[in-house]
A and B are shown apart, each in its own frame.
Chain A
Amino acid sequence: MNTTELSAAQIAAQVAAGAITAENVAGDHWARIEKVEPRLKAFVTLLKEPSLAQARAVDVKRAKGARLGRLAGVPVALKDNILLKGVETTCSSKILKGFRAPYDATVVERLKAEDAVFVGKTNLDEFAMGSSTENSAFFPTANPWDTDRVPGGSSGGSAAAVAAGCCPLALGSDTGGSIRQPAAFCGVVGLKPTYGLVSRYGLIAFASSLDQIGPFTRTVEDAALALAVFAGHDPRDSTSAAEPPARALKGLAGDVKGLRIGLPREYFIAGMDPEVEQSVRAAVELLKSLGATVRELSLPHTKYAVATYYLIAPSEASSNLARFDGIRYGFSQRQAQSLEEVYEASRGEGFGPEVKRRIMLGTYALSSGYYDAYYAKAQRVRTLIARDFAQAFKEVDVVAAPTTPTPPFRFGEKTGDPLAMYLSDIFTIPSNMAGNASLSVPCGLSRSGLPIGLQLIGPAFGEGTILRAARALEAAKPFAKIDEMRPSLAA
């Protein structure tokens, strides 16, 4: 048996039962990583020796008769904007090259407590700003289903790693769709938890009122398991929700009989890919045949979400990224003569084009004379978008929609036009605006063999319900296995 075909839950159970060793699991996954990574380029840092040592420590712990954690021996990858103590954390940016994390993120502490094993840090669009990993300062990551296409972004490395069998669980962050969009593009499950459910401590901030950490997995059960490990109040994150995590995981068990699903008219727009629409509608029909009820509804402010996002996110980013000053860490322009010059030259040379574009946009939107017209206006429209969902969830339990308007696009297809790239997040941004629970689950393949994702959106702390619906779909229509992907990454 090759353990790269197993889910995280299966690996943890078999390691705990002594059926396999954590070291064997790690060995299998390293064989897979070394085989596919030259073409995939999902990782910016590989942790082979440390992960094998971690795996051996799990086996020793078991041999001593100690109780093992819920992720015993499970290989996990972390998006490279999440701090793992002592390991370089770059955000795929030149400005953080060489930065060693001085502490663990809260999610990392929780993974360590459950005996997970860290195989590496994954590639992203620089500072999580992008939808294709093409904005990485180092290299783009390929889509495992078609290496001429992007894996999505910004958490493209994490999505590709899980899809290609490098690990059954990877962490990403989602500010405007950065977990769900790459999950859809790579044919895996991606969950953006309710804002505040998972601690952001140790996640390098992009847009603080929107950022959430969440899992990529190949099974719905694994996504639920990961959430159960991550979720819960953290006093070190002042925006952490006080709600007990049990509230979010309620409703996980059972079937979809009587589940009320809403289809928002505004998510089935002219110009969207007909195969995506077909596949998503077929998945909803399938849930209906399993006992769910389906009705159309309206989320009237959907069309304003992208503009709202591209005012709020860059504004918050311009403030968050002020900390990269060339003094305390990362790249510094040594030739600079004055302090002012150190700031301007280090930032000018250290940040890539998209990051600079967003810092500039945000600085403009917050500057004197424009604040009310742009930033404050966007925050008010954000309220209208959140109210749309609040109204919808009076009538339905789940909103179902496409995750993306198209299947994965080709490298270079959208890099010349920032606006075209921004529109690839059109269906995922509204959930970040409202802060509610949202996931992408594979629902089919296009005729050319590219994955398509169904987005299931629930109210805040409605994770249990959307995961239950996703699991019903998974059971009725099993996802493609890793070795069914083409072209073979083995070639």
Chain B
Amino acid sequence: MSDGTPKTADQTACTRRLLDVTPDAVLVSNLGVASYVLAGVADRERNFYQWGSMGVTIPVGVGLALVSDEHVTVLEGDGSLLMSLGELTTVAQHNLDNLTVVVWDNETYATTGGQPTRSPAVDFVGVAESCGVHATEVHSTNAFETAYRNAIATDGTSMIVCRVDPVDTDDRPPIDYPTIARRVRDAIADDPDQ
């Protein structure tokens, strides 16, 4: 950008910021980089890392938020969202107050080797809005935090498209898939506010 504003946010810093804002949220993270970065920032009982089912991450968040009073934040990727844009109609149908969707848009299939996605040609905010989901796009870490705070404070579900650079990390979720699912389930079941 000509005004010197960074063109991209820092995904790791943004992940840290959203945990500062919603330390008790249940986080549903897309397979690959979204989960790797989250695991590196903070491995928590309330992290529902996905290891497969690309394109199904947002629906997992919908189901969790539908039956729970917990705040649920989905950490989606641009490639996964492109695989299943129709799911935004389901997000709009329920428009849950306790659900926020973050899309890390790095314009690549980062987990499979960095092949380009078609996201530069896609107006994710426009797609979401046309489906009935409030959405905004941010290009910096500070703008992300502001947008995330606004999303939490606003009624209904908001989607934040956060433009980031691809991240290469060796961090991984430290437990296996069945344990991940049961750890989250137990953490919610043990919540005295539930």
Pairing of A with B:
no
Q: Which residues of chain A have a CB within 8 Å of any CB of chain B?
A: none
